[in-house]
Copies of this chain bind each other. A is one copy, B any other.
Amino acid sequence: MTWEDLGWSAPLNEAEVAVRRSRIEAAWKGQPECAGCGIRELALFADLEEEDFSLIHMPIDEILFEGGAILYNAGDQAKAVITLRTGLVKLVQYLGDGSQRIVRLLRPGDTIGLEATLQDEYEHTAVTLRPALACRIPVDVVHKLSRETPRLHRQLMARWHQSVKQADDWLTGLSTGSARTRVARMLLQLPRLSGPDGVEICELFSREDLGAMLGVTTETASRMIAELKRSQVIVERKANAFVCDDRVLREIAGE
């Protein structure tokens, strides 16, 4: 079976700027293009052994998305599961009245669109917040591996478990308390990149997205960030990239 058989030859959408093909064996064997790929340690196939990979005879797409790209829309045909290698992705759920709420963030190593293994439509809209590198795994591959090896089961369960846990924490942490508290908690749990001088930096996103994550308006999100900047609790290094005073943030977050 090939990608063409699945009707996946065309790019997912216009935002998809590059598609590189690689057989799964390549990913596994650590060929150049996959050097530094976290897939072996982090991702869905972490527990698999080399023999398992030999069961797969279907290419895995490795895709580079630009920031703001749509991985899929809610309701789209769900034929693949996506593993995120670099970047950050938001899962958006739309409400009846047209407003939207971001229900989860996905980081490198996370699996996106896991529901594809159980139903034929995606539940959310998945959008990159920054340029992102991802691997698109056809659900047939997952199903086949699932039949052949029990090792994948535990990983799948673990992924589901992780999603539930994150959803619960998102609710209690980022959807409870004052806007200031929520912003502080968000900043604390944001992935930190170590800057050039070794100081930890966290890249924020648009105020609109921040609001949609915390359940407050764009203006309120903006005010809170602006306030933190003025009081020097966070210091802007580059555009939307901050050095955070975690001690004070934890205090604001209610420890």
Contact = CB atoms under 8 A, between A and B. Distances in A.
A172 B101 contact: yes
A146 B146 CA distance: 13
B171 A101 contact: yes
Given A158-B118, A171-B170, A101 B153 contact: no
Contacts of A175: 171, 175, 215
A199 interface: no
B168 A118 contact: no
A117 B157 contact: yes
Contact of A176 (B101, B118, B163, B164): B101
A160 interface: yes
A215 B158 CA distance: 28
A93 interface: yes
A110 interface: no
Contacts of A172: 93, 95, 101, 103
Task: For chain A, give the interface size range.
Answer: 35 or more
A157 B118 contact: yes
A78 B228 CA distance: 41
Contacts of A115: 161
**Interface-centre pick from A163, A168, A175 (highest chain B CB count, 10 A):** A168
Contacts of A173: 95
Contact of A168 (B99, B114, B157, B167): B167
Nearest to A118: B161
A11 interface: no
Contacts of A30: none
